[in-house]
Structure 1
Amino acid sequence: MPREAPYLEVANVLRARILAGEWAAGERLPSRAQLADEYGVGRNVTQRAVDRLIIEGLLEGRAGSGTYVRKPRPRLRMVRSRHREQRGGSPFRADMKEQGKNGTWEAHSAARTPAPERIAERLAIEPGDLCVVTRYEFLGDGQPVQLSESWEPMAITDGTPVVLPEMGPLAGMGVVERMRSIGVVIDTAVEIPRPGRATQEQANLLGISLGDLLLTIERTYYDTDGRPVETADIVVPDVRWEVAYEFGVDRP
């Protein structure tokens, strides 16, 4: 059997030392140069080993300060259920209220955006058909909670007061309420959760580390005719939130 790459061997040793409590949570590790001397390897090897443990969530880098053992952070539960779509108004704001937090968000919409192939497939339209795309940063008590990128076909909303989700008379009221106001009744939501790792941009927006675990939820709303009317990618940082799905059970 071939040996592991040197940086993986160093990462394994460092991981074992961290889990054994040699460095306490919040304690600074020796510099990469010191670790390189200790293990008899090049600094690039210790750099890659430390980067690997940052991705795993055991360490965190602080600009200009060094590398530290990451402190455990409390995880809250985010419940996704049919109930969240029946409360009226913004489901996110209602979710945060149940957590005792004030839910707010920042959003930027771009109209007349051609749908890329992956979005067109989800919306049952042709690639290049015009949509409104809205990118959200959701906050709870001013702290990042989740990101979302939402797409709506302009064939449905163009010329109506709700063409831009965060402008007009129903700004911020959520997709279900906005669509209902123009006669489009949503009765089904399909969600596909997928695990992933944070890109640098996602990490910066969510206040987490590069490579942290994420849950990306691909959500699509359908009207009573089975037509997809909106699709979104919702990104939740796993280090801070666990997502639970609640299902009603029909009684016999």
Structure 2
Amino acid sequence: MPREAPYLAVADSLRARILAGEWEVGARLPSRAQFAKEYGVGRNVTQRAMDRLIIEGLLEGRAGSGTYVRKPRERMRMVRSRHRERRGGSPFHADMKERGKVGTWESHSQARVPAPETIAERLAINPGDPCVTTRYEFLADGQPVQLSTSWEPMAITDGTPIVLPEMGPLAGMGVVERMHSIGVEIDIAVEVPRPARATQAQANLLGISVGDPLLEIERTYYDTEGRPVETADIVVPDVRWEVAYEFGVERP
């Protein structure tokens, strides 16, 4: 039997009891020691079982207080589609408007940052080539909903009014609109979604728990010649948002 089976069995039992309403939302659970005695296992087993339910979002730990049944959070849908890019402006702002929320963001850009090897590969440039990198914290009605780190080769934007994404005449207008203003036409966006767990830094910024599920999206924009002109790592907290992809279908 796999070593993790005992804590999974305890987690399954506790999950069923929570969903059955044995403890109300906001109620404090018995201690790990009490559960260890009840299930006839070691405290490390109940620790791992409860940690798993915290990661799943059923429980929350409060420092110095104990473990509580977590209030279910509203989970909304975030739609990613090509038509949002075509209509101009920020796709995030438009998406939040459709959800009945006000989308805003905070950002910090740095110029002439040497491209790390992984980013250079995604942008088809040499490692160490200068880029502008911008870190974003996206908000909906003032609450954090998404993080993003963007990289743009300075070979494309240096000396233009859009070299810093959130400054100048097209600040906040999105990559497609900004690049269009300097004659670079974006034709394709490629996104690679991957599941992940929140690090301490991500949890702090998003207001979630360490280990909460995330969706990490690696996005790269390509111009009409197939040249990558921007790449970004987007982080969405799964406990609050589900991501849906919308595709246009050509008629026969």
Task: Give 1:98-109 correspondences, 5 Å limit.
Answer: 98-109=98-109
Provide the secondary structure at the position in 1 that maps to 2:229. strand
- C-alpha separation in 2, matches of 1:19 and 1:3: 26
Q: Which residue of 2 aligns with 1:83?
A: 83
- C-alpha separation in 2, matches of 1:99 and 1:13: 37
* Deviation at residue 172 of structure 1 after TM alignment: 0.9
Q: Which amino acid aligns with 2:16?
A: A
* Deviation at residue 63 of structure 1 after TM alignment: 2.7
Provide the secondary structure at the position in 2 that maps to 1:23. coil
Q: After superposing the two structures, state which structure 1 stretch, 103-112 or 51-60, moved more.
A: 51-60
Deviation readout 1:157-201 (Å, 9 max, x if unpaired) = 111111111111211111111111111111111111111111121
Q: Which residue of 1 aligns with 2:150?
A: 150
Q: Which residue of 2 aligns with 1:131?
A: 131
* Deviation at residue 4 of structure 1 after TM alignment: 4.3
Q: After superposing the two structures, state which structure 1 stretch, 167-176 or 25-34, moved more.
A: 25-34
Q: Which residue of 2 aligns with 1:226?
A: 226
- Runs of 4+ with >6 A deviation: none
Contact 1:215/1:236 (8 A) holds in 2: yes
Q: Which amino acid aligns with 1:110?
A: Q
Provide the secondary structure at the position in 2 that maps to 1:150. strand
Q: After superposing the two structures, state which structure 1 stretch, 170-179 or 11-20, moved more.
A: 11-20
Correspondence 1:110 to 2:110: yes
Q: Which residue of 1 aligns with 2:67?
A: 67
Correspondence 1:217 to 2:200: no
Provide the secondary structure at the position in 2 that maps to 1:11. helix
- C-alpha separation in 1, matches of 2:58 and 2:84: 34
Provide the secondary structure at the position in 2 that maps to 1:160. coil
Task: Give 1:165-176 correspondences, 5 Å limit.
Answer: 165-176=165-176
* Deviation at residue 234 of structure 1 after TM alignment: 0.9
Q: Which residue of 1 aligns with 2:197?
A: 197
Q: Which amino acid aligns with 2:214?
A: L
| Matched pairs, number | 252
- Percent identity of the aligned residues? 86
- C-alpha separation in 2, matches of 1:12 and 1:242: 24
- C-alpha separation in 1, matches of 2:179 and 2:9: 55
TM-score for both structures, normalised by structure 2: 0.93
Deviation readout 1:115-169 (Å, 9 max, x if unpaired) = 1111111111111111111110000000011110100011111111111111112
Q: Which amino acid aligns with 2:59?
A: L
Unmatched 5+ stretches in structure 2? none
Q: Which residue of 1 aligns with 2:46?
A: 46
